[in-house]
Amino acid sequence: MKIYNTLIIGSGYSSIGYATASPETVICEEHQVCDTGFCLPLRSFRYNTYTPKTEEGSQLLDLFNSLSLFGTNEQNTNGFEFAMCKYIAKKQLEVLLKCRVVRIVRQPDLIYDVTVHTNEGLTHLFAKKVLDMSNTSDERFYTVLFVCDDIEKVKDKLLSAYCGSQIESAFYAGRYALHIPAHDTDENRIKLEIYEKWCSLGIDAKILYMSPVFYGAENADKLCDCNYDNPIEAFEAGYFYAKENDK
């Protein structure tokens, strides 16, 4: 029976940083892609300068630069998923995709017995520590990535339709991200509501992608990518957190 040092629920740059510093770590990700911190929610296109403090962080930055993911004051969040996968493969980190945690039981010997569901069915993973990064917030927010030829024609309509929303430019010209609060809990109903509202308002824009924004559990706040605007900074936060935890 293999016993991991740490099992992390949910992937992101901070959890990948943790796994890099602590090799006996397994990451369970419910989605079919790794980067839930920046790629899936398309959370921040703005690039905030950050200087890596570790060799591993510098290697990751070099990978980003080799893929041209940074521009003037902007970062291409669409490319982060590919960068993450390349890094995971290079470092041979253990990440289980489309893996849903069903139950967590702490055994008398203080080892966690984690039941997970994968494409192969139910199985058990065992770990000394469990860090939960799954979405636990009651507040829900969505990011809508869209293409628009004339943003000034639709900007006021969009901001008026969604109280508390904001629009920012995406990495590519003519693409924008609209961040809106969501009052439903069903992702499919939310997406349908967005499509129907835009049609009723006569908004001349093409929706490319919609995704919920993720917030981690309080006990894993140092592994929550939403606390950082730069993925390298998030990565190193997880890296240093692992070093502290493994002492």
Read off the pLDDT of residues 173-208 as tens digits, 9 standing for 90 and up.
999 999 888 777 777 888 898 899 999 999 989 999
Could you give the domains of the chain?
3-135+215-245 (3.50.50.60), 140-212 (3.30.70.1150)
Reported as a single tens digit per residue, the pLDDT across 16-75 is: 999 999 989 999 998 888 877 788 777 788 888 899 999 999 999 999 999 999 888 889
Q: What are phi and psi of 151, to 5 degrees?
A: -65, -30
* Whole-Å CA distances, 54 to 19, 58, 107, 175: 15, 6, 36, 34
Q: Among all chains, which residue has been given the structure tokens 């606390």?
A: 227
Distance of CA 65 to the CA centre of its chain: 20
Q: Among all chains, which residue has been given the structure tokens 């693409």?
A: 175
Q: Tell which residue, 66, 137, 122, 125, has the closest CA to residue 95.
A: 125
Q: What is the pLDDT of residue 219?
A: 46
Token pair for residue 230?
Answer: 């730069």
Reported as a single tens digit per residue, the pLDDT across 148-179 is: 999 999 999 999 988 878 899 999 999 999 98
CA 115, CA 133: separation in Å to the nearest integer? Answer: 17
CA 217, CA 215: separation in Å to the nearest integer? Answer: 7
Which residue type, as a one-letter code, is found at position 243? K
Model's pTM, two decimal places?
A: 0.84
Reported as a single tens digit per residue, the pLDDT across 68-107 is: 998 888 899 889 989 999 999 999 999 999 999 999 999 9
